[in-house]
Amino acid sequence: MPTTERVSLDALLKGAREASRGLARADRDAALLAMADAIERHAADILEANAQDVAGERRRGTSAALVDRLTLDVERLHGVAQGCRQVAALPDPLGRVLDGWRLANGLDVRKVTAPFGVIALIYESRPNVTVDASALAVKAGSAMVLRGSSNALSSNRALVTVMRAGLAGAGLPEDVVQLVDSADRALVTELLEARGRVDLVIPRGGAGLIRHVVENARVPVVETGVGNCHVYVHATADLAMAESIVYNAKVQRPGVCNAAETLLVDAAVADAFLPAALAKLRAAGVELRGCERARAVVADVAPADASDWATEYLDLTLAVKVVDGLDDALAHIARYGTQHSEAIVTRDLASAERFRSEVDAAAVYVNASTRFTDGFAFGFGAEIGISTQKLHARGPMGLVEIVTYKYLVDGDGQVRD
Amino acid sequence: MPTTERVSLDALLKGAREASRGLARADRDAALLAMADAIERHAADILEANAQDVAGERRRGTSAALVDRLTLDVERLHGVAQGCRQVAALPDPLGRVLDGWRLANGLDVRKVTAPFGVIALIYESRPNVTVDASALAVKAGSAMVLRGSSNALSSNRALVTVMRAGLAGAGLPEDVVQLVDSADRALVTELLEARGRVDLVIPRGGAGLIRHVVENARVPVVETGVGNCHVYVHATADLAMAESIVYNAKVQRPGVCNAAETLLVDAAVADAFLPAALAKLRAAGVELRGCERARAVVADVAPADASDWATEYLDLTLAVKVVDGLDDALAHIARYGTQHSEAIVTRDLASAERFRSEVDAAAVYVNASTRFTDGFAFGFGAEIGISTQKLHARGPMGLVEIVTYKYLVDGDGQVRD
């Protein structure tokens, strides 16, 4: 697959459309198992290709953590293959009757899940996403068009080659999975403008990538992304529980979108809560930035400015604000939240209910950490991303979020009056 | 409301967002009844404003049919008010628990319907849409921002003023319904780019309007629109039924998106079917454009060229093509269809099943007219448009299609391992 040649996106998308036809009726689970087997059988080729990407990143002086994210080994590759097998074992998302009724004229209407057709993923994630996303698309009856980042191009090329071999071995068209195998950014633009030829684009990556996709797409998009998540400690909270939840939401994995970025504390419990809670966070290496009232309670907290309330740190940094009760907390979240995951810690029923009702977010937690917002934690068995928009899918997107539906209407000659 | 001043869209959208908060918990049905009463109480003002629009169109020499679409009278206005009352009587689309489960760690997850927040409608339809769409938004707990066409501006202004009075009378914020009251097209662009401030844009109107919205929107859109619908008469069809269905799909209301534009007939029954069926269509004033094989069967059918297969006539014109069986019909529909409504007339079970499975359209009919694809015919009690995209909503969109959902997660201190 030469990268020097201009890839014909038009031909690629035609191939994807062709390949998607009939996929709903094919044995998709057998294909997923064949993909998994092919990945394990050709592990050496994949690891060799991956080594090239890793060497390239090392030459560029990329940080050890990022190089590690890119690196595959036998064990990780086995995990990737097992992921395909797990997707195969999930229930079929197609052909589910979501609803059905009979009209007065005798027409039978069924609302039945159906494939999107062609799904494109534009991503800068680890190479395992190349396989995870393809497996989900196959299971959902859609062709997958992948556009990964250039630093993983060799790995993605090897993985896609092997998955296509697996598909072909199972009797499915290879073009069910395709890679936009070129560093030409104009192809991304072309992909984003391919109305009618791409049914859904999902961006996964940093804020810049997501913004680019959302602003330039003419095809339907599900936005994934930014999580400026809050934990609000209400005056009635069990303070030990609140400390545990805040600590978990910030520290357990700070680089992900469902980690907390701002702690809101009711003034009534600030003195009782903040000293110990912030000391524990600080002991875990968390840098704290507080409002004036928080700084009056706990020494040596750096001053927060307005930009802190709006920042998704994705790091061991936490903004801390003392608020005057639920209304104040709700107003802060409405202003600065990104509609991802928001938590209240409270013992008061009415406050919990108002928080649930009034917070506009994909996931609203009462007395639990925000860190649970993902497809695996929610029990979906897989995840293609976490939506931060309200159209189509909100929050973790599993298999049922990457299918559409159609109405099947059966009659015996009905015509409209 | 002066139109010469530049409307501040920013202020308008802030007002909409503010007004939308708490709407889910307000008595939305009482507000709808108050809106209906206000419309009837202020009928004289509305009709006077409408008369200005009508006079303007007459001066411009607009066709009688289009002037009629724009015209309101006491009876039509009563129908509009009754529409509000019917929406009030529909079940509440908010707070429905779509799904729910308990995780192994004891967290209770509920997936519950929730309002979008701010919905914008960009339309060039009849003035009744101004009220119908606003009523649906109110019922769905969202604020509505309306941008109608300039030729209905006086009518829309009067209707919005009266609806706002009704809302205020019921104790709701007036800004739940707002009109972008300016002919300035830059405001449409601003509206389409208002990410985070508009949660959903729905275009309703001609192909040009819809294309403009889809191509320029940075906010989530549900595309409504073009229906290049087919009726396919299979070799096994009951030919009397087929004749009745084709006639209804073409003639009953040719100007709407679910009317048929092309008739596909199996070669095996072309001789038996076409002469009588086309004679009946012609007698109803339908202009026929046929492929060579159709023209060989029926005299005086104009030749169809490639553009005919792709045209949504929205008129008493029908393209006619003889095909060689199901595969040929499926290929034609895949190439030229707009994924709206497609019908097969057949007695063969396997052909019906393949048609249902392989046709990629919002509504797939077996032995019924395509004309049933709308929210009223489907029994939704209302309709805000017919989606021709696959993301979020497909086909007729009623109340349940203009809400989103959120996950409510309840714990007693759960943190992630």
Q: Is pLDDT of B369 > 50?
A: yes
- Mean pLDDT across B140-149: 97
Alpha carbon A307 to its chain's center: 25
pLDDT value at position B6?
Answer: 53
Q: Is pLDDT of B5 > 80?
A: no
Distance, in Å, from the CA atom of A153 to the CA atom of A184, rounded to the nearest integer, reads 12
pLDDT digits (tens, 9 = 90+) for B231-243: 999 999 999 999 9
Q: Which of residues 365-404 of A touch B (CB under 8 A)?
A: 365-369, 371-373, 377-379, 389-392, 394-395, 404
Helix H segments across A108-202?
128-139, 153-169, 186-192
Residue partners of B262: CB distance under 8 A and separation at least 6: B228, B229, B230, B231, B308, B309, B318, B319, B320, B321, B332, B336
* CB-nearest partner of B25 from A357, A378, A389: A357
Distance, in Å, from the CA atom of B57 to the CA atom of B70, rounded to the nearest integer, reads 9
- Mean pLDDT across B183-201: 92
Q: Which domains does chain A have, with CATH numbers?
A: 9-219 (3.40.605.10), 229-372 (3.40.309.10)
Which two tokens mark A145?
Answer: 């068009």
Q: Which amino acid is at A186?
A: A
Distance, in Å, from the CA atom of B403 to the CA atom of A317, rounded to the nearest integer, reads 35
Nearest CA in chain B to A218: B215
H/E stretch holding B331 reads helix B326-336
Q: Which amino acid is at B336?
A: Y
Distance, in Å, from the CA atom of B191 to the CA atom of B185, rounded to the nearest integer, reads 10
The radius of gyration computed from the CA coordinates of chain A, to the nearest angstrom, equals 24
Report whether A395 contacts A373 (CB < 8 A).
yes
Q: Is the dihedral of CA B367, B372, B375, B378 positive or negative?
A: negative
Q: Which of B152-161 are b and which e, b meaning 16 or more Cβ less than 10 Å from the residue's Cβ? A: bbbbbbbbbb
- Mean pLDDT across B46-67: 93
DSSP B198: B
- Mean pLDDT across B335-354: 97
B186 touches chain A (CB under 8 A): no
Distance, in Å, from the CA atom of A269 to the CA atom of B338, rounded to the nearest integer, reads 60
B148 in the Ramachandran plot: left (φ > 0), alpha (ψ -120 to 50) or beta? beta
Q: Is the dihedral of CA B298, B302, B303, B308 positive or negative?
A: negative
Report whether A226 contacts A388 (CB < 8 A).
yes
Q: Which amino acid is at A4?
A: T
pLDDT value at position A6?
Answer: 53
pLDDT value at position B4?
Answer: 39
Tokens 């993985």 appear where?
A: A159
Q: Where are the beta strands (DSSP E) in B4-56?
A: none
Cβ atoms within 10 Å, residue A345: 28
Comparing CA positions, the residue from B281, B318, B315, B313 lying closest to residue B302 is B318
B30 touches chain A (CB under 8 A): no
Q: Which of residues 282-301 of A touch B (CB under 8 A)?
A: none
Distance, in Å, from the CA atom of A187 to the CA atom of B267, rounded to the nearest integer, reads 43
- Mean pLDDT across B228-256: 97
The interface predicted TM-score (ipTM) is 0.94
Residue partners of B338: CB distance under 8 A and separation at least 6: B225, B226, B227, B228, B229, B312, B388
* CB-nearest partner of B369 from A218, A244, A416: A416
pLDDT value at position B22?
Answer: 85
Residue partners of A22: CB distance under 8 A and separation at least 6: B358
* CB-nearest partner of B379 from A101, A117, A366: A101
Which two tokens mark A284?
Answer: 């875990």
pLDDT value at position A1?
Answer: 42
pLDDT value at position A7?
Answer: 61
- A339 three-state secondary structure: coil
Which residues, listed in sequence order, are joined to residue B122 by a DSSP beta bridge?
Answer: B147, B203
The DSSP string of A210-264 is HHHHHHH--S-B--B----EEEEE-TT--HHHHHHHHHHHHHS-TTSTTSEEEEE
A255 touches chain B (CB under 8 A): no
- ∠ CA A354-A357-A359, nearest 5°, is 95
Mean pLDDT score across all residues of chain B: 95
DSSP B205: S
A357 touches chain B (CB under 8 A): yes
Which two tokens mark B309?
Answer: 């297969």
Tokens 């969202």 appear where?
A: B142
DSSP B195: B
Q: Please tell me the distance in Å from A241's CA to the nearest CA on chain B.
A: 6
Do the strands B118-123 and B200-204 form a parallel or antiparallel pair, or are they unpaired?
parallel
Q: Which residues of B touch A22 (CB under 8 A)?
A: 358
Max CA separation in chain B (angstroms)? 79
Cα–Cα distances (Å) from A237 to A263, A337, A344, B226, in that order, read 14, 21, 9, 54
Distance, in Å, from the CA atom of B14 to the CA atom of A203, rounded to the nearest integer, reads 28
pLDDT value at position B188?
Answer: 92
What is chain B's length? Answer: 417
Which two tokens mark A55?
Answer: 């060497």
Q: How confident is the model at residue B3 (pLDDT cuts 50, 70, 90)?
A: very low
* CB-nearest partner of A356 from B364, B408, B412: B408
Q: Which amino acid is at B195?
A: R
Q: Is the dihedral of CA B287, B293, B295, B298 positive or negative?
A: negative
Q: Which of residues 133-172 of A touch B (CB under 8 A)?
A: none
pLDDT value at position B226?
Answer: 87
Q: How many CB pairs under 8 A join A and B?
A: 193
A255 in the Ramachandran plot: left (φ > 0), alpha (ψ -120 to 50) or beta? alpha
Report whether B216 contacts B195 (CB < 8 A).
no
* CB-nearest partner of B252 from A21, A365, A416: A416
Do the strands B363-368 and B143-147 form a parallel or antiparallel pair, or are they unpaired?
unpaired
The radius of gyration computed from the CA coordinates of chain B, to the nearest angstrom, equals 24
Q: How confident is the model at residue B94 (pLDDT cuts 50, 70, 90)?
A: very high
Cα–Cα distances (Å) from B353 to A408, B239, B270, in that order, read 10, 20, 23
Distance, in Å, from the CA atom of B245 to the CA atom of B249, rounded to the nearest integer, reads 6
Do the strands A341-345 and A363-368 form a parallel or antiparallel pair, or are they unpaired?
parallel
The pair phi, psi for residue A73, each rounded to 5°, is: -140, 180
Which two tokens mark A20?
Answer: 């998607």
Which residues, listed in sequence order, are joined to residue A387 by a DSSP beta bridge?
Answer: A224, A395
A116 touches chain B (CB under 8 A): yes
- Mean pLDDT across B147-176: 96
A195 touches chain B (CB under 8 A): yes
Distance, in Å, from the CA atom of A162 to the CA atom of A80, rounded to the nearest integer, reads 13
- A203 three-state secondary structure: strand
Distance, in Å, from the CA atom of B333 to the CA atom of B361, rounded to the nearest integer, reads 10
Report whether B249 contacts B370 (CB < 8 A).
yes
Q: How confident is the model at residue B65 (pLDDT cuts 50, 70, 90)?
A: confident
Cα–Cα distances (Å) from A77 to A39, A42, A85, in that order, read 8, 10, 13
Q: One digit per residue, pLDDT tens: chain A, 417 residues?
A: 444 345 699 999 999 999 999 899 999 999 999 999 999 999 999 999 999 999 999 999 988 888 988 999 999 999 999 999 999 999 999 999 999 999 999 999 999 999 999 999 999 868 999 999 999 999 999 999 999 999 999 999 999 999 999 999 999 999 999 999 987 888 999 999 999 899 999 999 888 899 999 999 999 999 988 899 999 999 999 999 999 999 999 999 998 999 999 999 999 999 999 999 999 999 999 999 999 999 999 999 999 998 999 999 999 999 999 999 999 999 999 999 999 999 999 999 999 999 999 999 999 999 999 999 999 999 998 899 999 999 999 999 999 999 999 999 999 999 999
pLDDT value at position B66?
Answer: 86
pLDDT value at position B2?
Answer: 41
